[in-house]
Structure 1
Amino acid sequence: MTPATTTALLLLLAAGVATAEEEDDQEEGEDARSYRGYRVYRVFPAGGAELRELVSGLDDEVSLWTQYLGRNGSSADLLTAPRAAAEVTARLEARRVPYLLLIADLEEAIREENPPVDPEEEDWENRGGHRLTWTRYHRYKDIDSYLDYLANTYTDICQTEVIGKTSQGRDMKLLKVSTGGKGKPAIWIDGGIHGREWISPASATYVLLQLVEFREQHSELLDSVDWYILPVANPDGYEYSHTKDRLWRKTRSAGTPHRRKDGKKARTCYGVDPNRNWDFHWREGVAGEACREDFAGLRAFSEPETRAMSDYILARRRDIKVYLTLHSYSQMWLVPWGYQDEKPRDYYDMYVLAEKGVKALEAVRGTDYLLGTAAELMYTSAGGSDDWAKGAAGVKYSYSVELPDTGQHGFVLPAAQIEPVGQETWAAVKAIAAHFAEGHD
């Protein structure tokens, strides 16, 4: 499947069921969206044309979760509304397109994803200073309080910084971890750019747990490297995914009016995809409909979240040697570029360092990660933070990591996987950091 074909397919599917909640303009007082009866299929079409035929006329019923290219052939994961399931499977079988049912009832998977709060957690804040665990997915306030706990407990190396405010007024809180001194190489890590990717903030905080609370096991990584870690880059979207719509991806900025071409009632659509909003090849090959999941915004850096991150990184661009953004799902370590097929001139250097991280990660429990560019492994997309960090901020080693799994659970990875994923992610981060702790450029 060519990048052009892939882009066309994304344009076709991105406005599907995953943004249907905007039809009703869900406000704070409304009930959370139910995904009862929604199914996720993995299909194996011969190419983009066949896939488009399979979903033709079902734009409001079928949405693309992710797709793969490369060594295992082409495939796509489709979230299908209950009323469209029979039609989709009938088309697949009529064309003899192989497919698998990955999730039979998404609402059931969501209900089983996260265990209920342990009543004893109510006392943890008094006993330990925070309530964060790595046995369940936590709300933003718990993550926020953990950053404060680290800063208040490990005052010699930790400092919180509020780098900006979200559209809804939440703090964008970052933790700087440093033993002091000037001119040290720095590593930036962010998580939670997309609200629904809960394993991302959980993994970022697990990295903080290991880096700070077990510092004696790797003191060289603190003595030689500074760290900037922003566990939740999209707090509004993250909270909305907990309270209103488990699959919410975008920010929650003020609604953009959208006039429908089919004669139906116009609607107001909320939010922008913060990973299409960066001012580097912004909006290339992407349509501008506000209700799309990957809406890039009315202008680059329209979102306070992306502006705050970019300003902070640009002010420290001379020291930041690695930009690492955590996403899910697919189990891929992605190297720029994402917006085009052509690779950067120093791609080999970037690949070799990434390979160290991937090998360390895979050594933990044998998890298989693909390594390459987004354009060659998934699809072309412009306006991403990793491309911006490389192309605009000049951070040589810029990566986007798609955390587990490969589709069995997709975006609703069970909380039991938080610690295993955190362990292997930390192993990769350590391997990357060791490169600079050893004095390499």
Structure 2
Amino acid sequence: MNELDLLAAADTRGRAYTASVATRRVFPDADALAGLAVFEEPLPEQGLPAEQTLHLLDERGSPATVVSNGPRYFGFVIGASLPAAAAAERLMLAWDQCASSFDNSPVAATVEATAAGWVLQALDLPRNSAVGFGTSATACTLACLAAARRALLARHGWDFDRDGLIGAPEIKVVVSALVHITVKKALRVLGFGTAKIIYAPVNAHGQIDPAQLPALDDHTLLCLQAGEVNTGEFDPFAELIPKAQAAGAWVHVDGAFGLWARASNLAPLTAGIEHADSWTTDAHKWLNTPYDCAMAICRDANALASAMNSDAAYSSASSDAQKNLTLEFSRRPRGIPVWAALRSLGKQGVAEQVERHCRQARRVADGLRAAGYDVLNRVVLNQVLFRAESDEQTVAVREALQASGEAWFGGTLWQGRPALRISVSSWRTEDEEIEALVRLMEKLYR
């Protein structure tokens, strides 16, 4: 089979899979999982036919997928891939561009620059901010926090690039008591030390309490949240950020999914967030691009570009080249699916998608209450946090739901006890899937 026929076969199989997502089990059954044993083979001495490899991957791999690209997946704020974004990704793979700079890929540099401007417009953030398209909120948070520490040290006359951290003034970090694990991971990788992190107390909804905010100064990095992972709540930016600014602190906002509320009629939840110094958000969550796409956004474009700079004698580029805004030097043009998603949706489409999912989340919450569940959050966004009558029943409901194959969401801990969390974020999820989920949850409760 020649190259073009092989690619055509892959496309045929991919289209067949996509056509089946509405009817597939959301989580694979035992037979499909057992079928994965076929991949546990030794490295072949001689290469095997490519068409055989493709066949194996589809015949044994496809049944063992979690159908997060379907309408009945409600876990981890994973959105299905929008058709325009998925199609753009296919063409992008055919191009096979190293999108580090204009010299490597003029089209990638041009489209990603447009996408960056559109992201700032959609999120109504300072228009001169730098936007780096990275792999994940984790990687983008690491880039933003590295830029923050470097900038704070520079204000005190310390040259981080030359002198490193040994002997440097200490930068302290203040985070929410419910800070997301990816922020803690980025801080740990950057060498801040988990024992040195200062945790700000939160209220019953999971928001930082301004009255109990730890002391800040011009050596402080304050991390806030737009969309707490369990409750969907937002820290009170309008109260917290002015305090940080008055102290000379740097404010970073983890907005992996919640930042997109700013593109809808839920924007008041984010009031004051535009005054932060940096933000991270995912495109592969609520914007529904294919996976492996997030954004590091920094008000001081030079701060991010200087911290992430990777110019070399053989490969120099402008300060806003993506290799100078992200961790990756050799990279794929992740901003192209973002461009395609925003172009296909437009400002109105983004708003409608966010608002529909939040409306659907409220309907789920109403249905759960009517069935007898205890809904634990205010459902201000697309997250529904709830429990059954007892901890044992909560766990049993989760296990039964996941085993059913009819839908999928996961468990969590809230205030020390097991809880369940439903996230509504797929463009494929229509009201009929929401009603089916409510009926299923009623059945499982009984």
Q: Which TM bucket (shorter chain)?
A: under 0.3
Larger strand share, 1 or 2: 1
- Tell me which of the two structures has the higher relative contact order, counting C-alpha pairs closer than 8 angstroms and 6 or more residues apart: 2
TM-score (norm. length: structure 2)? 0.24
Larger helix share, 1 or 2: 2
Higher Cα radius of gyration: 2
